[in-house]
Structure 1
Amino acid sequence: MKRVLLAAVLLASCSKGGPADIEISNAWARETVAGQTSTAAYMTLANNGSGDDRLLSVAAEAPAMAMLHSSESADGVARMRAMTSGLAIPAGTRIELKPGGSHVMVSGLPAPLRVGQTLNLTLTFEGSGKRSVPLKIVAANEAR
């Protein structure tokens, strides 16, 4: 009996808590110019739930493609790297995808993005499933 109780306590301590509650806000990308086939997208991801979650992947409307990236600077050189293991979103945290940091790289755009348009992305979370996100296209010089 003691072993069963001990096992139950150990399992409970390993749990991530309750469900995640992902809120996506302030999703945007800058307008592009003729011939530019890629852009970066930014947004805020808030986990208002009591359980952890993970953003596993991002998809764009065909024929465009989307991928999670991180940016870092070392010795004056900026580098982008694909985030192949996704992005952890612990319970009770707010993560900002922003210029100079983590972002969504969108490539293969068939036409320039213009101010006022939207570009739809689909975010796939480990626990919260798929979520559709309309990106607002803003002016290239607009500070966000």
Structure 2
Amino acid sequence: MKKTFFTTAIIASLTLGALSAPVLAGPEDIVIEDAWSRASIGTDRPGAAYMTIRNAGEETVLLIGLETPLAMMPEIHESKTNADGVSSMSPAGEITIAPGESVLLEPGGLHAMLMRLKEPMVEGQTFELKLLFENSDDVTVEVPILSIASRGPES
């Protein structure tokens, strides 16, 4: 009887622990589409990268940061224009992506800001950009560098 109670208590404890553990999304659940960037004018000005991040999984994911060997300070930024037509840009913080939803990183909105470039962004080259997620494996994308006047991957 004592052994049965002990076994039941262990099974209940393990089951409760499994139920309360966070569910992690796998890297296959995060789909990166249409990544691109523009060539830079040297390294004095920041660069930017754009893409669509789609959550194809069943759990919400949280984008918490970026890493790239190209820039010392990569961050997600957001550009906004107020009612008076004045534009501003600031760090966006964490980005929540619900299951089945997408987040668009685009000029004039959310974007990957690449501050303190280590080298110029040269048209025709690519660079790696790692997206860091709190509740999923990180995802690395190869970002093509388009012309300085480009308006997207289709232009």
In structure 1, the gaps of 5 or more residues are 1-11
Using the TM superposition, name which of 124-133 and 44-53 deviates more: 124-133
CA contact (8 A) 2:25 2:137 kept: no
Larger displacement relative to structure 2 (27-36 or 93-102): 27-36
Q: TM-score, normalised by structure 1?
A: 0.80
Asked if the contact 1:118/1:137 (under 8 Å) is kept, the reply is yes
Match of 1:73 in 2: 81
Q: How many residues align?
A: 132
CA RMSD of aligned residues (A): 2.4
Secondary structure in 2 aligned to 1:142? coil
User: Of Structure 1 and Structure 2, which has the larger fraction of its residues in helix?
Assistant: 2
Residue type matched to 1:131 in 2? V
C-alpha displacement at 1:98, in angstroms? 0.3
1 or 2, which has the higher strand percentage?
A: 1
Are 1:93 and 2:101 an aligned pair? yes
- How far the C-alpha of 1:18 sits from its partner, in A, is 8.1
Task: After the TM superposition, list the runs of 4 or more consecutive aligned residues in structure 1 that deviate by more than 4 angstroms.
Answer: none
**Structure 2 unpaired stretches of 5+:** 1-18
The answer to whether the 8 Å contact 2:44/2:116 transfers is no
Name the structure 2 match of 1:121: 129
1:37-91 CA-partner distances (Å, limit 9, x unpaired)? 311111110011111101011112165320011110011111111122x101000
Closer, same or farther: CA 34–63 of 1 in aligned 2, 3 Å:
closer
Q: Any idea what SS the aligned residue of 1:143 has? A: coil
Deviations 1:8-33 (A, max 9, x none): xxxx8xxx988461101211110012
Distance 1:18 1:33 in 2: 40
Bigger radius of gyration: 2
